[in-house]
Structure 1
Amino acid sequence: MTSDDDGLAQRELVRRGYDELAETYAAEREGNENDALLDRLRSDAPPGRVLDAGCGDGTSALSPLAGERPVAGLDFSREQATRANEVAPGRVVQGDMTALPFADGTFAAVGAFYSIIHVPAGETPTVYEEFARVLSPGGVALVTTGTEGWAGRNDDWLAGGAPMEWDILGLDRSTGLLEAAGFTVYETVGVVDGLGQDGKTSRLVAADSDEAEKLFIFARLES
């Protein structure tokens, strides 16, 4: 396979995995740590519309945001997008973060919770360029990355019988790509991710904590 073929195969596996595991994933992500992050996103972003990129079924971020801001949701998985459309009717599309189906400068903020970590590394620069394109100057992006780079696959993710793949960039590389797309990174928060781990709950920690397993990056688009 060429690298392009590998990327297409990974994307298709991720799409199918989230289709097949929609209900399992929703149950596992229930009661996550998004509230504090959403509060910060609300306070940091200028007034305007918010995009939840990789919105899943919409309950963790799209639903809380929809009560107070105009929103849009996008997910690569048809099943996830269908579920999210029940949360925000008419405002969710199935789509690709590398080619967002939105006009330039139409959002004040973009949140990408646990979604970019599934994008093939070679396509991540395009995702950040797309975020910059659809944001208005001064808009804020919130994305998830790793404390360090890692790529891998689980053939029975969440014990649900479907495979999943990740291509996670570390902080330095993610920061460099965001800056190249026109962003300034201004805060990083660590997270202990309890997804799929019995008895372990997700919680936020300092970015430099030894407990941090992934990172949330806040970045502002330069005016």
Structure 2
Amino acid sequence: MGDHVDHAAVRRSYDTVAEEYATRLGNELDGKPLDRALLGALLEEAGQGAVVADLGCGPGHVTGWLAAHGARAVGVDLSPGMVATAARRHPEAEFREGDLLALPAGDGEFDAAVALYSVIHVAPDELGRAFAEAHRVLRPAGLLLVSFHRGEEVRHLDEWWGHAVDVDFRFLDPSRVGALLADAGFTVEMRMERGHYAHEVDTRRVYLLARRN
């Protein structure tokens, strides 16, 4: 725990739960109307046929939703197990294995990007680098939608759905995240906070929509 993140442990943990994660949460957007509304707004601004990255895509359910709603969607995840699961479940999208701190993408490749609960696995001193990478791969004026759990705690899991894992979930201060986005060259245009839906873990969830300067 602390301020260090073992990226290999995070990768192994998500490899371990990839199939179960996809089975349990592959349809979770069906029960998240506010999330769908924000994703829809992002796509409307980006325009029909926009190239949209899903950073930390997991089993690809959000990537698949973006593709189904007119985007050329590209999912990126640290876990090769997640990437394989996502590619099998969502052949309409593209998936790449890669780290948020060194994205497998060219400068300005994407018209928009989402990072839904993926930055919670980045160490505090790495968040700025992650946002700088998002800035690099977005075109000028491209939009980035970031979501995370609000707070200061770190929740550690040794066991997840009966599988042995080693992963931290870091809650974040919205003001600090906003400041780091600004430092990376973004302007935050919208902030939304909501409680949890009945099927979610009991946390406060924050969404920031930022535009690349």
Taking structure 2 as the reference length, the TM-score comes to 0.86
On the 8 A contact 1:192/1:202 being kept in 2, the answer is no
On the 8 A contact 2:64/2:93 being kept in 1, the answer is no
Q: Which amino acid aligns with 1:217?
A: L
Deviation at 1:89, TM superposition (A): 6.0
- 2:110 maps to which residue? 107
TM-aligned CA distance change 1:180 to 1:88, over 3 Å:
farther
Alignment of 1:70-109 (within 5 A): 70-86=72-88, 87-88=90-91, 91-109=94-112
Deviation at 1:53, TM superposition (A): 0.6
What is the distance in 2 between the residues matched to 1:19 and 1:55? 13
What is the distance in 2 between the residues matched to 1:184 and 1:52? 20
What is the distance in 2 between the residues matched to 1:46 and 1:184? 20
Structure 1 gap ranges (5+): 195-199, 204-210
The secondary structure found in structure 2 opposite 1:24 is helix
Deviation at 1:176, TM superposition (A): 0.3
On the 8 A contact 1:147/1:171 being kept in 2, the answer is yes
Deviation at 1:79, TM superposition (A): 0.5
Runs of 4 or more above 4 Å deviation: none
Alignment of 1:30-41 (within 5 A): 30-32=27-29, 33=32, 34-41=35-42
- 2:133 maps to which residue? 130
Taking structure 1 as the reference length, the TM-score comes to 0.82
The secondary structure found in structure 1 opposite 2:28 is coil
The secondary structure found in structure 1 opposite 2:176 is helix
Deviation at 1:113, TM superposition (A): 1.1
What is the distance in 1 between the residues matched to 2:119 and 2:18? 18
Q: Which amino acid aligns with 1:57?
A: P
What is the distance in 2 between the residues matched to 1:75 and 1:12? 13
What is the distance in 2 between the residues matched to 1:212 and 1:153? 15
Q: Quick one: percent identity of the two aligned structures?
A: 31
Alignment of 1:43-62 (within 5 A): 43-46=44-47, 48-59=50-61, 61-62=62-63
Alignment of 1:162-201 (within 5 A): 162-193=165-196, 200-201=198-199
TM-aligned CA distance change 1:193 to 1:118, over 3 Å:
farther
TM-aligned CA distance change 1:44 to 1:150, over 3 Å:
farther
On the 8 A contact 1:98/1:130 being kept in 2, the answer is yes
Once the two structures are superposed, residues 181-201 of structure 1 have per-residue CA deviations (whole angstroms, 9 ceiling, x without a partner) of: 11111112224345xxxxx32
What is the distance in 1 between the residues matched to 2:15 and 2:174? 29
The secondary structure found in structure 1 opposite 2:129 is helix
On the 8 A contact 2:56/2:76 being kept in 1, the answer is yes
On the 8 A contact 1:121/1:168 being kept in 2, the answer is no
Q: How many residues of Structure 1 are paired with residues of Structure 2 in the alignment?
A: 205
The secondary structure found in structure 1 opposite 2:210 is strand
Once the two structures are superposed, residues 67-90 of structure 1 have per-residue CA deviations (whole angstroms, 9 ceiling, x without a partner) of: 312121110001001111221467
C-alpha RMSD of matched pairs (Å): 2.4
